[in-house]
């Protein structure tokens, strides 16, 4: 049985997107390795805040029906550079139960292990779903701060919590909440101010995300605010330098309860649109590392919709925050124009259907980003299909399979796996030109 301290996968669990031929042997192997990762590794593999992706990777492989041997190989490949957790401080865990003391440990990776045990204890007492509701969606100062932190680190804490929810794993949820707690909260001015501005202006009719993307592309003052020299282009270039201007766009995106399903599909489609289209011919086809996280996170919003223990209000709020995050992320990389021809005219290296792409990605030497991207794209095709006749759904039909091929080809095409900050010419200098036959 899955508990706040024990990982246990089963073929009865149905994540947001999965292949039907999963086996219990693979579930058992993944559970064993996820448990080892849970007990032996920090959530960051270095002091610079680089994330441990083992949980993301193994759960994605399991959903894509990887064999026990494939799961084991990928774990072995990625465990070698992980670091041990900081030694537990029991007095700190006890102190965290005082709300006034809780906040003094936030934002410091030294306390990840303490937060992990704290949230495990909270879940044992209250139930894991209730703890997520209390610490992310209660609406008080602490929960709002934690919700901001869950979208930090390019959405990594929210991605982690999303994996926990779709696979019904309280121990992974405790990791995700602990991860959120040790992230920064500099996204707060954008997310909280946009929400407040939308409420004050009583926005009833939302602009679509692609409308906002088009407007941001045309707004050169906003798009040119991030500088190549910025250490964090979203934080320094957007939130700090043009925060109020970004809020003026973000507040125009709102969600009403009766359109949650369609707006979820719209968010997925828009993220894929600007991520897949952010190419730079004649350079190699590559996906932007930061945009890719917006796509990889999108899959979990289908899982959130299915949770009866999440209120409609919480689902609406989380989707609004995700949409606002995504358009800010688009602006932070200099708002490259999405080139649709790059998708529709793409010629795959190994033409096939989705099944062959899944097999390629399961055997890819990867830290999990590539496999997450392919699964999110396949899921996006399913979720967006009912709305493809709508103008604001720009990714349609065969474009999804094209994007699957682009993703699988790009991560095996030589050079860096990802381009970082695709709207900057400097980001593409290290990549080769495509052969003439591909132009």
- Work out the average pLDDT over 333-344: 98
Q: Is the pLDDT of residue 224 over 90?
A: yes
pLDDT one-digit tens code per residue, 226-238: 999 999 999 999 9
Query: What is the pLDDT, as a whole number, of residue 210?
Result: 98
- The encoded tokens of residue 415 equal 């050079």
pLDDT one-digit tens code per residue, 381-409: 999 999 999 999 999 999 999 999 999 99
Query: What is the pLDDT, as a whole number, of residue 436?
Result: 61
Query: What is the pLDDT, as a whole number, of residue 46?
Result: 87
Scan for tokens 């926990």, then name that residue.
164
How many other CB atoms sit within 10 Å of the CB of residue 419?
Answer: 28
pLDDT one-digit tens code per residue, 271-284: 999 999 999 999 99
- Work out the average pLDDT over 81-107: 94
Q: Is the pLDDT of residue 256 over 90?
A: yes
Q: Is the pLDDT of residue 324 over 80?
A: yes
Cis peptide before 345 (omega within 30 of 0): no
Query: What is the pLDDT, as a whole number, of residue 48?
Result: 81
More confident residue, 76 or 204: 76
How many other CB atoms sit within 10 Å of the CB of residue 30?
Answer: 26
- Work out the average pLDDT over 87-106: 95
Phi, psi at residue 387, to the nearest 5°?
-115, 10
Spatial separation of the C-alpha atoms in residues 141 and 356, rounded to whole Å: 48
- What residue spans of 168-298 are helical by DSSP H? 170-181, 188-200, 209-218, 220-223, 243-250, 260-276, 289-298
- Work out the average pLDDT over 344-373: 96
The pLDDT > 90 percentage for the chain reads 95
Query: What is the pLDDT, as a whole number, of residue 437?
Result: 52
SS3 288: strand
- Work out the average pLDDT over 302-317: 98
At residue 204 the predicted structure's pLDDT band, cuts being 50, 70 and 90, is confident
Q: Is the pLDDT of residue 377 over 90?
A: yes
How many other CB atoms sit within 10 Å of the CB of residue 103?
Answer: 15
For residue 28, what is the DSSP state? Answer: H
Residue ranges per domain, the chain?
A: 24-79, 90-181, 189-438
The answer, as to whether pTM is greater than 0.95, is yes
Q: Is the pLDDT of residue 439 over 60?
A: no
pLDDT one-digit tens code per residue, 104-156: 999 999 999 999 999 999 999 999 999 999 999 999 999 999 999 999 999 99
How many other CB atoms sit within 10 Å of the CB of residue 289?
Answer: 18
pLDDT one-digit tens code per residue, 143-173: 999 999 999 999 999 999 999 999 999 999 9
At residue 360 the predicted structure's pLDDT band, cuts being 50, 70 and 90, is very high
Q: Is the pLDDT of residue 438 over 90?
A: no
Q: Is the pLDDT of residue 361 over 70?
A: yes
């Amino acid at each position: 049985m899955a508990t706040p301290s024990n990982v246990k996968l089963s073929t009865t669990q149905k994540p947001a997107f999965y292949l039907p031929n999963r086996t219990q042997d693979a579930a058992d192997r993944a559970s064993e390795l996820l448990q080892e990762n849970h007990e032996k590794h920090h959530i960051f593999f270095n002091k610079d805040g680089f994330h441990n992706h083992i949980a993301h990777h193994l759960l994605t492989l399991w959903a894509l029906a990887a064999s026990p041997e494939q799961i084991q190989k990928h774990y072995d490949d990625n465990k070698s550079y992980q670091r041990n957790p900081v030694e537990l401080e029991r007095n700190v865990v006890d102190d965290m139960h005082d709300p006034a003391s809780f906040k003094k440990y936030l934002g410091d990776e030294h306390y990840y292990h303490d937060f992990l045990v704290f949230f495990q204890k909270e879940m044992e007492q209250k139930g894991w779903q209730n703890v997520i509701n209390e610490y992310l969606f209660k609406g008080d100062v602490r929960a709002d701060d934690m919700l901001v932190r869950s979208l930090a680190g390019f959405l990594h804490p929210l991605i982690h919590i999303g994996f926990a929810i779709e696979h019904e794993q309280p121990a992974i949820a405790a990791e995700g909440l602990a991860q959120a707690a040790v992230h920064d909260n500099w996204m707060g001015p954008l997310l909280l101010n946009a929400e407040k501005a939308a409420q004050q202006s009583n926005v009833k009719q939302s602009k679509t995300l692609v409308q906002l993307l088009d407007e941001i592309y045309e707004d050169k003052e906003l798009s040119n605010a991030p500088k190549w020299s910025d250490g964090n282009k979203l934080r320094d270039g957007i939130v700090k330098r043009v925060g109020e201007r970004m809020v003026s766009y973000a507040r125009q995106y709102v969600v009403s309860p009766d359109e949650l399903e369609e707006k979820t599909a719209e968010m997925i489609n828009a993220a894929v649109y600007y991520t897949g289209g952010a190419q730079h011919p004649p350079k190699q086809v590559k996906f932007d590392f930061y945009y890719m996280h917006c796509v990889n996170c999108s899959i979990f919003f289908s899982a959130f919709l299915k949770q009866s223990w999440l209120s409609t209000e919480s689902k609406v709020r989380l989707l609004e925050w995700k949409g606002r995050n995504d358009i800010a992320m688009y602006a932070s990389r200099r708002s490259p124009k999405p080139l649709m021809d790059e998708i529709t005219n793409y010629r795959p290296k190994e033409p096939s259907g989705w099944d062959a792409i899944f097999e390629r990605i399961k055997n890819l030497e990867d830290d999990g980003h590539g496999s997450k991207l392919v699964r999110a794209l396949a899921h996006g095709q399913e979720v967006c299909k009912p709305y493809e006749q709508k103008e604001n759904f720009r990714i349609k039909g065969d474009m999804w399979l094209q994007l699957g091929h682009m993703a699988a080809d790009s991560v095996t095409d030589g050079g860096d796996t990802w381009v970082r900050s695709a709207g900057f010419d400097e980001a593409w200098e290290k990549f080769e030109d495509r052969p003439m036959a591909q132009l």
